[in-house]
Structure 1
Amino acid sequence: MRIHQFTPFTSTGPKGPVRPVAPSCVGRPRPMTPASASASAGQQASSAGSSSSDSTPAASGSSSNNNKPQAWAPPTGILKINPALLQAGGLDVSREGPQARASFEGHLNSLFLPVNLDHPGIRVLNIDPPVLTVEGFLTPLECDDIVRTATDSGLMRQSGVGVGGYQLKDSGDVRTSSTLAATTEVLAQQPALSAALHVMLSRARCLLRGPLPPEGPAAFSRPSQPGQAAFELPQVARYQPGQHFLTHEDAFPSSVVASKGYQRRATLLLYLNDCGEGGSTKFDILDIAVQPRKGTALLFFPAFSNGVPDRRTLHTATDAVTEKWVTQLWLSVGVRTQQQQQQLPAYVRGTRSGGPPGPKGRKRGVPPQRINTKI
């Protein structure tokens, strides 16, 4: 499994989308739309065999055009694992060589979030965008505790749908499940439920490698500055037969991110019971369906590390055939608000070519005064 090292995000972004190279155990990258399948596959194959300079535009224009910052475009290609490996439960990273592991870690660290790939039971279902599962994330008894305490609380309510960071009063047929929102008030009044969910929270800290929120109640504080992380309060959801959550994305729209100053960067979905049929989590664009297995966690990344939503992670909770229980946890990370972005110097925002201004107080080409370092 070999992936080219991805360039970390900067204020202006790389000059073009970076394409990973398909490893030997991985199928051909898949485009987002069937209409562009052949063209996209050919482009990715050619870029895999070419040098890095071939992926940048030719320098046929003037030098001023080359200096203009280009807006970063999110990747649209898909890098899948071998179908046989997917059918067998996913790619076991521990069986890959050190170079392949380092390559995948670099992919996660630069574009998404660091993950503890040594965590027991971890499997890779898709490389780009990364989709992972963790078998045995919770024990059957721990899963039963969450279901029992959520049921005993009597606080399960009709699920809502968030639009632009706000909750709709009527979600119609989009989301028909019932949900318990574990607010601070609910956790304070339901100590048994709080203890059961705390186990999931502690396991999440072992799986994710940062940035992570502080311990204690501050873990749920709203991110107030770029790079600050926080967990959103968990939710417990129940799907009765025939209930579902139609195609949706977990990331906030860019307009909401620009005003609020944070974005959902990781989704951790934990299955609390087995569903032999129906109730799968289906990634519509990736054509991957994850069947609920008790104690298994599903991890994916709704947005890139710069806060741009990754629409490749659109997913659906398909119609349940039998009762289905899940709990979910989101990790949000602060980004610059629109106001903070405007306060940055022009050369940092990328609105003016060139670097930072030179030192003041002397003419260009004149060396600075020597500093007396004698004591």
Structure 2
Amino acid sequence: MAPLLFLLLAALALSPTFDAAAGGFYDQARVTQLSWRPRAFLYSGFLSHAECDHLVKLAKGRLQKSMVADNDSGKSVMSQVRTSSGTFLNKHEDEIISGIEKRVAAWTFLPEENAESIQVLHYEVGQKYDAHFDYFHDKNNQKLGGHRVATVLMYLTDVKKGGETVFPNAEGRHLQHKDETWSECARSGLAVKPRKGDALLFFSLHINATTDPSSLHGSCPVIEGEKWSATKWIHVRSFDNPPIVRMDVRCSDDNELCSKWAAVGECYRNPKYMIGTKDTLGFCRKSCGICDA
């Protein structure tokens, strides 16, 4: 994705947008820019309370222990880093989910096919998700859609105390005023209180498509009440229709600059050249991690 496009996405996230499925123009006054490092925006009332209740109802009875991606293998493993429970809802599972998915795509200006299914999460008292990145450290997860470029986190319930989303590395984190209603965890960075219907959009990559360390974020422990949320992760390229690459040939780089190009995000901005298509092999498949060396 080109740097100028990233700038455009950040600007458009604050702009009123017409989407018939979402009920007309978005109200720019309900979108607040929270930070530029990382790029983060809060939409007040993104979901109706009825939509929130519907997602919670669908998820109940389907919850399982939340997993994390192993940094080396990319496999999903259990960890005390993340103690919530959750479940994925199928894309277009019903009309309400389809409408939310269209609304997310319209607000972020990123295609629906680049996004994973909605994941609904449930946090009980004491449960949390320690600070982590939404982009990947392993090559295996990057093969399907590339890095996660953006996250839309929708709050489905109010939380009496705790449960804030916190960005420990955010620029200006010390400037945010916090009174006694904030948890101690939330005081460690720029924080957002979970409010039913609100949605938080933040980007995990810089505008040049490299990973952004300031996007480090976590879910603070719930102190009182319970927390329900719904996450939509969006990748730099299609998650539903990844490129089909021939794997029956030796993996190699055909240009000595491949590793440098890959490091600055060319695998995602220029996949046809770097990775290839189902008919033509790319020139930097090794550096892009698309096949085994």
* CA distance 1:265–1:347, shift in 2 (3 Å): closer
1:253-268 → structure 2 map (5 Å cutoff): 253=137, 255-256=139-140, 262-268=146-152
Kept in 1, the 8 Å contact 2:74–2:140? The answer is no
- Give, as a single letter, the amino acid of the residue that structure 2 aligns with 1:313: S
Once the two structures are TM-superposed, the CA of residue 202 in structure 1 deviates from its matched residue by 1.6
Q: Which runs of 5+ in 1 are unaligned?
A: 1-7, 10-105, 214-218, 220-229, 352-375
Instruction: Return 197-206 or 311-320, whichever deviates more.
Output: 197-206
| Corresponding pairs, count | 221
Kept in 2, the 8 Å contact 1:263–1:332? The answer is yes
Structure-2 residue corresponding to 1:202? 102
- Give, as a single letter, the amino acid of the residue that structure 1 aligns with 2:198: T
Rounded Cα–Cα distance in structure 2 between residues aligned with 1:260 and 1:250? 14
Once the two structures are TM-superposed, the CA of residue 196 in structure 1 deviates from its matched residue by 3.3
2:230 to 313, 321, 327: 327
1:331-342 → structure 2 map (5 Å cutoff): 331-334=234-237, 342=253
Structure-2 residue corresponding to 1:141? 50
Task: Establish whether residue 298 from structure 1 lines up as the match of residue 192 from structure 2.
Answer: no
Once the two structures are TM-superposed, the CA of residue 209 in structure 1 deviates from its matched residue by 2.0
* CA distance 1:258–1:134, shift in 2 (3 Å): closer
Identity percentage over the alignment? 28
Once the two structures are TM-superposed, the CA of residue 247 in structure 1 deviates from its matched residue by 1.1
Structure-1 residue corresponding to 2:159? 275
Of Structure 1 and Structure 2, which has the larger fraction of its residues in helix?
A: 1
Kept in 2, the 8 Å contact 1:272–1:293? The answer is yes
Task: Establish whether residue 289 from structure 1 lines up as the match of residue 191 from structure 2.
Answer: yes
Of Structure 1 and Structure 2, which has the larger fraction of its residues in strand?
A: 2
Kept in 2, the 8 Å contact 1:177–1:237? The answer is yes
Instruction: Return 157-166 or 174-183, whichever deviates more.
Output: 157-166
Structure-1 residue corresponding to 2:31? 122
TM (norm. structure 2) is: 0.65
Kept in 2, the 8 Å contact 1:257–1:307? The answer is no
Rounded Cα–Cα distance in structure 2 between residues aligned with 1:340 and 1:333? 23
Deviations 1:294-340 (A, max 9, x none): 10000001123554221111111000121100000011013999x99
Q: Which runs of 5+ in 2 are unaligned?
A: 17-25, 171-188, 263-293
* CA distance 1:345–1:127, shift in 2 (3 Å): same
Structure-1 residue corresponding to 2:7? 109
Rounded Cα–Cα distance in structure 1 between residues aligned with 2:7 and 2:154? 23
Once the two structures are TM-superposed, the CA of residue 234 in structure 1 deviates from its matched residue by 1.2
TM (norm. structure 1) is: 0.52
Kept in 2, the 8 Å contact 1:262–1:307? The answer is no
Deviations 1:171-190 (A, max 9, x none): 1x211110012246xx7xxx
Deviations 1:231-256 (A, max 9, x none): 11110000011100011110112645
Instruction: Return 342-351 or 134-143, whichever deviates more.
Output: 342-351
Once the two structures are TM-superposed, the CA of residue 263 in structure 1 deviates from its matched residue by 1.2
Structure-2 residue corresponding to 1:170? 78
- Give, as a single letter, the amino acid of the residue that structure 2 aligns with 1:310: D
Structure-2 residue corresponding to 1:241? 125
